[in-house]
Amino acid sequence: MSRKSARVTGLILGLMLLPGCTLFWVGAGAGGGVGTYAYVTGELKREYHASLNRTWAATVQALKALELRVEETQKDQLGGKIEARRGDGEAVKVALEPTAHDRTLVKIRVGFFGDRGASERIGKAIETRL
């Protein structure tokens, strides 16, 4: 196990022992969008004010611009999933779900334990392309 993985595991286990501890981080993005990072799942959740099709196109463009290798895509009117890889081989998973006509929820997870910073960079890259 790498040092980073061990630290994250220790942090998660330590937080789970605290009664009433919340394991979410909420913050505002530059464009006024709000993202929620769940440390338990290692996933960033963010809703964009754009249709599924527009958000899908922006997501694919963002991943390619960040030099992530898109390996698998799956999309229909109920949502979509994208699996990609970083240069170091770490997995990147993005799920999109329409929440309304002009809104889409995007869930981003980088690596096995999650990487908040990398997930936020992907989220910002998507926002920039919308």
Cβ atoms of 12 and 39 closer than 8 Å: yes
* pLDDT single digits (tens) 87-123: 999 999 999 999 988 999 999 999 998 999 999 999 9
**Domain regions of the chain by residue span:** 3-129
The pLDDT, as a whole number, for residue 105 is: 97
pTM: 0.72
The domain made up of 3-129 is a member of CATH 3.30.310: yes
Instruction: Please list, residue by residue across 72-91, b when 16 or more beta carbons sit within 10 angstroms of its beta carbon and e when fewer do.
Output: eeeeeeebbebebebeeeee
